[in-house]
Amino acid sequence: MVNILFLFVLTGFITSLLAAILFTVYKKQIIHQKRVILYFGEGATAVKKTQINKEQPSRIKQLSEIYWNKGTQGLNKRISKVEQKRMDTMLKEAGYPFKSALDFRLFQLLLSAGLTLPIFIFLLPLAENKLLTWLMIVTMALLGLRFPLFYLGKKKTARIKAINKAMPDFFDTVNLLLGAGMGLDLALAEVSQKNKGPLADEFLQTLEDMKLGKSRREAFYELRKRVPSDSFQSVITSMIQADQLGIGMVKVLGSLTVRIREQRREAARELAMKAPVKMLFPMVFFIFPSIFIVILGPLVVHLITKGLGG
């Protein structure tokens, strides 16, 4: 009993001694923090800690960036220029969800390895059917390689839809500014800065290219290549031709916006005509069987229990 009491007293003494030493060492910092909280509230210390965390990135983030850069450098030696150009085109059409083609390919390999290694390490030694396990490993590896491509395709489709949806209002506003006496470049800059979305981002990039020395024709050609939308490419082609021939841009944009709205109306009608065909398969495989069960179920039960003469 005496030993236990002595242990508690010794622990309390050591704790008090350490607290006194730490309080003496960090006395100035504690007093400073109390004054900051007194005059500015606790939000000031939170803001200061946030700024410190932003200025000093974590060690894990630094190591991940170092090894990621090493991985991209290693892939740069193994991937041909033709393949890199093809992947750059895919990324450009999707709006660059990855920084470069090397980053995209490295993400593919890491995803494939992340899906297959747990199965290879944990499931394969314990599996009775090795062939089925190897088939699962190959399937997950292919899934890891193909899923990023599917993601790029979805991003490309969503980006094209967003651009086609924003085109009428965007060019209407540009046309109004042109009618008010503003120049084409200034009107595009004004509308792009006030709007958000892929269409505004693309025109801002085009204006930046023009500031760096490209002509309007070259910048618009690059813009047409970046956006894989037929209606948008036709609009940009008309704008390039009007600029070359000296035709009034107000008249051209007015007719273009009318044509864009007509194309959207026709696309909506086409989707409405396709709706019955798309509804056919869910009705045949999901809705009709349920209806038949509800309608014919009691009759089948009656026939089974009582027969035809019941």
On the question of pLDDT at 46 being above 60, the answer is no
Q: How far apart are the first and last CA of the chain?
A: 90
On the question of pLDDT at 302 being above 70, the answer is yes
Q: What confidence category does residue 142 fall into, taking pLDDT thresholds of 50, 70 and 90? A: very high
**CB distance 223 to 206 below 8 Å:** yes
Amino acid letter, 117: L
DSSP letter at 121 equals I
Average pLDDT (3-21) is 56
Average pLDDT, the chain: 81
pLDDT at 139: 92
pLDDT tens per residue across span 179-227: 888 888 899 999 999 888 899 999 999 999 999 988 888 999 989 988 8
pLDDT at 48: 47
| Percent of the chain predicted with pLDDT > 90 | 13
Q: Where are the domains of the chain?
A: 29-78, 80-159
pTM, entire model: 0.66
On the question of pLDDT at 44 being above 50, the answer is no
pLDDT at 28: 64
Alpha-carbon span 28 to 34, nearest angstrom: 10
Q: What confidence category does residue 2 fall into, taking pLDDT thresholds of 50, 70 and 90? A: very low
Sign of CA dihedral 180, 184, 190, 193: positive
The pair of structure tokens assigned to 241 is 């031709």
Alpha-carbon span 151 to 75, nearest angstrom: 21
The pair of structure tokens assigned to 87 is 């992947």
Residues with Cβ within 8 Å of residue 74, at least 6 apart in sequence: none
Alpha-carbon span 145 to 151, nearest angstrom: 11
pLDDT at 38: 60
Helices (H) and strands (E) in the chain, counts: 13, 0
pLDDT tens per residue across span 232-267: 888 899 888 888 888 888 888 888 888 888 888 888
Q: What confidence category does residue 278 fall into, taking pLDDT thresholds of 50, 70 and 90? A: confident
On the question of pLDDT at 150 being above 90, the answer is yes
pLDDT at 68: 82
pLDDT tens per residue across span 16-43: 655 666 666 566 666 666 665 665 555 4
On the question of pLDDT at 55 being above 60, the answer is no
Q: What confidence category does residue 13 fall into, taking pLDDT thresholds of 50, 70 and 90? A: low
- Of the candidates 216, 177, 175, 223, the residue with the CA atom closest to the CA atom of residue 199: 223
